[in-house]
C-alpha cells in the first residue's frame, strides 16, 4: 500500500520543539500540554500573528525550527517496519518555504524510509491508499477528496473526531490497521 504520512505532529514532535525554543529564547515555562488548538501559538505566546511566529522560527541557532525537531518515540521504528512489510512510505508535509531544505536534511538524518517526499498544502492531490495526519483542515480535505481511501486521524488535542476518518492513537495502532486492511483486500 502507498501510505501518505505527515511529519509534524505525527513523526516529528513539532510542539515540543517550538515550546523548548520559546522557553529558552523568552524565559518562559510553557509546556506542550498547553497547546490544545491548531495554531495555538498565538493563544499562549506573545506572538499576535502566526506570521510573527514563523519569522522567529525561521532562524534558531542558524537553522529553521524544523531542522531541530525530535521524533516521537517509536515513529521511526514503525515506519521501518511498514517499509519492511512492503509498503511505500510517501511523506506528505506542509512547510514554509524557508524550511524546505532543513526538512529534507531532517528526514535524511532521522533515517526515515521513504519512496517520495511531497511538500504541499493540498495533500489529497497525492494519490495514496492510506493517509495519516493530525491537521484538522488536512483531514477534512482528505475525507472530502479521498473518501474511498483509508484516512487516519492521528489523535491530538487540536483535532476532533471526523466522520470518514479512523482515529489512531499511535504508530502501533496505525501499523495494525494497515495490516488488517491489507489482509482484507488481499486476493
Q: Which residues contact 86 (CB under 8 A, 6 or more apart)?
A: none
Render pLDDT for 31-60 as a digit per residue (tens, 0 to 9): 999 999 998 899 999 999 999 999 999 999
Sign of the torsion angle spanned by Cα atoms 62, 63, 64, 68: negative
Tell me which H or E stretch contains 54: helix 50-57
What is residue 28's predicted lDDT score, i.e. its pLDDT?
97
Bridge partners for 63 per DSSP: 60
Q: Is the pLDDT of residue 30 over 90?
A: yes
Task: Give me the domains of the chain, ranges plus CATH numbers.
Answer: 2-13+69-184 (3.40.50.1000), 15-67 (no CATH)
Angstrom CA distances, 72 to 12, 13, 95, 104, 181, stand at: 6, 6, 19, 18, 24
Phi (first) and psi of residue 185, to 5 degrees: -100, 5
CA quadruple 13, 113, 101, 3: dihedral, nearest 10: -70
Render pLDDT for 97-126 as a digit per residue (tens, 0 to 9): 999 999 999 999 999 999 999 999 999 999
Amino acid at each position: 500500500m502507498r501510505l501518505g504520512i505527515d511529519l509534524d505532529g505525527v513523526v516529528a514532535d513539532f510542539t515540543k520543539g517550538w515550546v523548548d525554543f520559546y522557553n529558552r529564547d523568552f524565559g518562559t515555562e510553557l509546556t506542550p500540554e498547553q497547546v490544545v488548538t491548531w495554531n495555538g501559538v498565538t493563544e499562549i505566546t506573545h506572538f499576535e500573528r502566526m506570521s510573527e511566529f514563523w519569522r522567529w522560527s525561521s532562524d534558531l541557532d542558524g537553522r529553521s525550527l524544523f531542522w531541530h525537531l525530535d521524533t516521537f518515540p517509536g515513529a521511526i521504528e514503525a515506519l521501518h517496519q511498514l517499509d519492511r512489510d512492503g509498503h511505500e512510505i510517501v511523506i506528505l508535509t506542509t512547510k514554509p518555504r524557508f524550511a524546505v531544505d532543513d526538512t529534507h536534511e531532517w528526514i535524511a538524518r532521522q533515517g526515515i524510509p521513504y519512496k517520495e517526499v511531497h511538500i504541499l498544502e493540498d495533500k489529497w492531490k497525492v494519490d495514496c491508499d492510506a493517509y495519516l495526519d493530525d491537521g484538522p483542515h488536512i483531514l477534512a480535505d482528505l475525507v472530502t477528496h479521498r473518501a474511498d481511501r483509508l484516512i487516519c486521524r492521528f489523535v491530538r488535542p487540536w483535532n476532533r473526531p471526523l466522520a470518514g476518518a479512523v482515529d489512531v492513537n499511535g504508530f502501533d495502532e496505525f501499523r495494525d490497521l494497515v495490516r488488517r486492511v491489507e489482509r482484507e483486500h488481499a486476493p
